[in-house]
Structure 1
Amino acid sequence: MHIGILTLRLSLPGCRSLKEKRQRMGGLHERFGRQPAVAVCESGDLDRLEASEWTFVAMATTSQKVESLLAEIEDKVQRGVDGRVMEATRERL
């Protein structure tokens, strides 16, 4: 079994409340947490209004499938969130 971890740090310029932050993040947990091979959590910057950090853990039988899952997640976050991805880091276990 292969495991990969993707951590995304996002900038949310102009965000004025935690409620707005949740709305702008567009339900990342619900969207990606439904996939049986992916676990997701907001892992940092919980109380900062203009920043957010999310970690995604993907597991599959091949490293290529893990990489594909993480690339798909990163692409969807970049296109679907009202903010900018400032940093993306990947790890393999």
Structure 2
Amino acid sequence: MHIAILTMTISLPGCRSLKEKRQRMGGLHERFGRHPSIAVCESGDLDRHDASEWTFVVVGASSRAVESLCSEIEDKLQRTVDGRVLEATREFL
């Protein structure tokens, strides 16, 4: 069993309310939380309007599968979120 923790920090320039922040993040929890190998939560910057931090725990039978899922999450986030990814860190357990 291989496990990775992917943490993504996202800038939301011009965001003025928590409601707008939720709309701009576009339901990340629902989108990624459906996958049986991924757990997701908003892990930081909860009260800030202009930033958001999300953590994904990815589990797989091989390191290659885990790496692939992490890359897929990063790519999808960059394409679908109305913001800019500032940082993406991976930690393997």
Query: CA offset at residue 55 of structure 1?
Result: 0.3
Query: CA offset at residue 54 of structure 1?
Result: 0.1
Question: Structure 2: any 5+ residue segments left out of the alignment?
Answer: none
Query: CA offset at residue 83 of structure 1?
Result: 0.1
Question: Structure 1: any 5+ residue segments left out of the alignment?
Answer: none
Could you state the TM-score of these two structures normalised by the residue count of structure 1? 0.99
Query: CA offset at residue 86 of structure 1?
Result: 0.2
Alignment of 1:5-20 (within 5 A): 5-20=5-20
CA distance, structure 2, for counterparts of residue 63 and residue 91 of structure 1: 12
Could you state the TM-score of these two structures normalised by the residue count of structure 2? 0.99
Identity %: 76
- Give RMSD over aligned pairs: 0.3
The equivalent of 2:40 in structure 1 is 40
Query: CA offset at residue 43 of structure 1?
Result: 0.2
The equivalent of 1:74 in structure 2 is 74
Query: CA offset at residue 22 of structure 1?
Result: 0.2
Q: Which 4+ residue blocks in structure 1 deviate beyond 4 angstroms?
A: none
Aligned length: 93
The equivalent of 2:24 in structure 1 is 24
